[in-house]
A = this chain, B = another copy of it.
Amino acid sequence: MPRRRFGDEPLDHPKWTYREPPSCHIDINVRSPTMSDESWSPPAVLLAVDLVILTLRDSRLSVLLVERGIEPHQGDPALPGGFLQHSCEDLRAAAIRELSEESALDASRLHLEQLGTYGTPDRDPRGRVVSVAYLVIAPALPEPIAGTDAADASWAPAEEILSGARRLAFDHEEIVTDGVERARNKLEHSPLATAFCDRTFTISQLQQVYEAVWGVELDPRNFYRKVQAVPGFIVSAGTERRSTRGRPARLFRAGSRTTLHPPLVRPDPPNPEEEER
Footprint of B on A, CB under 8 Å?
1, 3-7, 13-18, 22, 24, 26, 28-35, 38-48, 69-70, 82-91, 93, 96-97, 100-101, 107, 114, 116-117, 119-121, 127-128, 130, 132, 149, 185, 189, 228, 230-233, 235-236, 255-257, 259, 261-263, 265, 269, 271, 274-277
Contacts and interface: CB of A to CB of B under 8 A. Distances in A.
B42 A6 contact: yes
A85 to B, nearest CB: 5
B1 A35 contact: no
Interface of A is mostly: loop
A46 B116 CA distance: 18
Copies of this chain, how many?
2
A4, A41, A255: residue with the most chain B Cβ atoms closer than 10 Å: A41
Contact of A13 (B15, B29, B83, B121): B15
Contacts of A271: 231, 261
A22 B189 CA distance: 41
B275 A256 contact: yes
Contacts of A46: 42-45
Contact of A35 (B6, B15, B97, B127): B6
Contacts of A262: 265
Contacts of A185: 189
Nearest to A45: B47
A231 B276 contact: yes
B4 A41 contact: yes
Contact of A28 (B96, B127, B255): B96
Contact of A22 (B32, B69, B88, B274): B88
A7 B36 CA distance: 11
Contact of A128 (B30, B88, B233): B88
